[in-house]
A and B are shown apart, each in its own frame.
Chain A
Amino acid sequence: MTGEPSETIQQTLSDARLQLAIYSATNRLMTHRAGAVGPDLLPEYQELRNDANQLKKHTIDHLDYYLELFERNVIAYGGKVVYCTDSQEVADFVLSLAKQRGAHLIVKSKSMTTEEIHFNERLEKHQLEAVETDLGEYILQLAHQRPYHIVAPALHLTRYDVAEIFSKNLGVENEVVIEKQTRIARVALREKFLRADIGVTGANFLVADSGAVVVVENEGNARLTSSAPKIHIAVAGIEKLIPRAQDLGVFLTLLGRSATGQPLTVYTSFLSGPRRSGEIDGPDEFYVVLLDNGRTKLLADPEKRQSLYCIRCGACLNHCPVYRKIGGHNYPWVYSGPIGAIITPQFHGVLKDPWLPFASSLCGACAEVCPVNIEIPKLLLKLRSEVTDAQRREGQGGMERWAFGIWAWVMTHPRIYLMLARMGGLFAPMLPKVGLLGKWASQREIPKVAKTSFHQWWRERK
């Protein structure tokens, strides 16, 4: 294909240590998930998936209603809702608030949405420091890398890599014991938590009927982020809405299990509004930034709209044989794996990375494990045809279209087809291994053709 980062894909494929890191980490996640959704532990798993799908469908189909309901309830609890069209508007809001309050330091918990809008980099330009406090994200921030995986951002790094990153950036001795590395990060981050003026979290769910932001995590850093600083800002895509608090019974049951095999994550925080009088902790100010950043574009197509159902569990990445080979950084956007392959073209336009929907064997393992039943292979097929359509309009991809035109003609002319098949069988071994044949032969032998074709055998036995 053309356009894909073939050089870095090749590097990833030939890096034995990296391959092992990706394989063992995804294997572990797959095994844990399989155990957690097994019929003995969760006999209602398939029903839950259907429920989750229907709940998301309903919410996305009535997004305007639930956005308003959510906003009313956030306000009722003393919080504020800020609608932002794009990353610039998020940065403008945070910067102006920081300026008004004299804030200098922001602590952040893990959030793909803020990764999506390059939040940290935008603020850094204005001398506002934003520190990641999730261990994986902290490591990546020090190493200036983007997340490798939606749930396990530093999945590709070994403890030796982390030792190197820490000693280079934190001035500590080379430390390869994981527990001690965690201690190093904890000490560094604790000091940040105590000094921070603003805490920024993402949101796993926005609960419309209670104006609550729900955040799940395992390290306790999100809870600290949302409660220690005086100001809490939750940044979330508009698709994170769910109608009612009781729907969390469906989504929380699925999310932890699908992501890491945990029945529930270690911390599940329900955050609604700032600290009220009489409460001992919580922020003085509570903001929910509702980000569009292209999401409303996805609403336009009634079929592809289901891409917005995603709850970012990462199961499709773990089970994707392509992700497991090429890893996360070869995908063009922060969202990698199968979900990245279907949402990136919809956010950025199909011609930006036309190779992306084609980088799949359509094996369907992603759809099989998706907790909200997104029809990923079907959407990949749809996007593939949108790519070829767009290329035709732009006068690109003529060769391939021409070839498929000829192919369709041959396939509807059986005599020609048989003649060519016979010739192919005879001459294939002699053909120079260039073009498609060369691509095939770069990895495999050319199949041997039977001496007698089935057609011939059928005719002769009559």
Chain B
Amino acid sequence: MTQVLERLGFQVDFPPAQTCCGQPAFNSGYPAEAGTVARHFLETFRGAEYIVVPSGSCTSMISHHYTDIFAGDEKMLALARGVAPRVWEFSRFLIEVAGVDDVGARFDGVVTYHDSCHALRELGIKDGPRKLLAKVKGLTLREMEAAEECCGFGGTFSVKFPEVSGGMARTKIDSILKTEAGTVVSIDSSCLMQLQGVIDRAGLPIRTAHLAEILAGT
């Protein structure tokens, strides 16, 4: 992501104190603990002009759910509301802020794109990543049938209901296999971790890659 942004002429900073957006606790029913971590996030990124996030799910947590966490705390609410419009999911930043869909990348092979749920349904990101992939030289984008179906990760859901979660991933992978793509691309690493884990367990010849990884290739 850094390489792509710098290639496009952006100055990238990486605040080393950053850790997590707080989503694992929030989604597990611990909004207070999530709030502690969210506060750390807001302090760490204070003053950043654009906060570019390589994850739809983290982006949505910051831009959509921080206001739920801090409901009733006017000071934190104001801070969260101020940061929300400056938080950008990576592909959306490229399309809407940088105004590019061709980042000059090259990738030889057939890929299929997995819509991660929060990017798709909470942020409405669907065409952007596909436009970016379509402009990559040597790359063939082949849609799978169940592109919009969940990979089954769901944070702690993956360990609270491992068999259901694993079953969901296997159904998703069946759909990926039908495209005969060698690579499945997403904008959320957590989906990719889930899918790669199940792919490796089954010994399948598919690789997962984050969109940034593909766009960084030349």
Which A residues, 373 to 431, have Cβ-Cβ distances below 8 Å to chain B? 378, 381, 384-388, 400-401, 404-405, 407-408, 410-412, 414, 417
Tell yes or no: A180 within 8 A of B by CB.
no
Is the beta-carbon distance between B117 and A404 smaller than 8 angstroms?
Answer: no
Partner among A363, A388, A404, A417 whose Cβ is within 8 Å of the Cβ of B19: A417
Tell yes or no: B183 within 8 A of A by CB.
no
Is the beta-carbon distance between B37 and A412 smaller than 8 angstroms?
Answer: yes
Is the beta-carbon distance between B17 and A363 smaller than 8 angstroms?
Answer: no
The A contact surface, by secondary structure, is helix
The closest CB in chain A to the CB of B37 belongs to A411
Is the beta-carbon distance between B154 and A362 smaller than 8 angstroms?
Answer: yes
Which A residues, 136 to 172, have Cβ-Cβ distances below 8 Å to chain B? none
The closest CB in chain B to the CB of A361 belongs to B154
Quote the shortest CB–CB distance from B156 to chain A (angstroms): 8
Quote the shortest CB–CB distance from A456 to chain B (angstroms): 11
Q: Do A443 and B28 form a contact, CB below 8 Å, given A322-B164, A404-B33?
A: no
Which A residues, 417 to 449, have Cβ-Cβ distances below 8 Å to chain B? 417, 436, 439-440, 442-447
Quote the shortest CB–CB distance from B144 to chain A (angstroms): 15
Tell yes or no: A364 within 8 A of B by CB.
yes
Partner among A384, A400, A443, A455 whose Cβ is within 8 Å of the Cβ of B162: A443
Is the beta-carbon distance between B163 and A360 smaller than 8 angstroms?
Answer: no
> Measured between alpha carbons, how far is A9 from B25 in the docked complex, in Å?
26
**Which of A357, A367, A384, A411 has the most chain B CB atoms closer than 10 A to its own CB?**
A411
Is the beta-carbon distance between A359 and B24 smaller than 8 angstroms?
Answer: no
> Measured between alpha carbons, how far is A4 from B194 in the docked complex, in Å?
23
Is the beta-carbon distance between B161 and A363 smaller than 8 angstroms?
Answer: no
Which A residues, 212 to 238, have Cβ-Cβ distances below 8 Å to chain B? none
Tell yes or no: A368 within 8 A of B by CB.
yes
Is the beta-carbon distance between A1 and B25 smaller than 8 angstroms?
Answer: no
> Measured between alpha carbons, how far is A360 from B165 in the docked complex, in Å?
9
Measured between beta carbons, the chain A residues less than 8 angstroms from B31 are 385
The closest CB in chain A to the CB of B65 belongs to A381
Tell yes or no: B76 within 8 A of A by CB.
no
Nearest 7 interchain pairs by C-beta: A444-B197, A361-B154, A443-B166, A384-B29, A363-B150, A364-B121, A388-B29
Listed in ascending order, the chain A residues whose CB lies under 8 Å from chain B are: 1, 4, 9-10, 13, 321-322, 325-326, 355, 357-365, 367-368, 378, 381, 384-388, 400-401, 404-405, 407-408, 410-412, 414, 417, 436, 439-440, 442-447, 454-455, 458-459
Listed in ascending order, the chain B residues whose CB lies under 8 Å from chain A are: 2, 14, 16-20, 22, 24-31, 33-34, 36-37, 39-40, 68, 117-118, 121-122, 148-150, 152-169, 171, 193-194, 196-198, 200-201
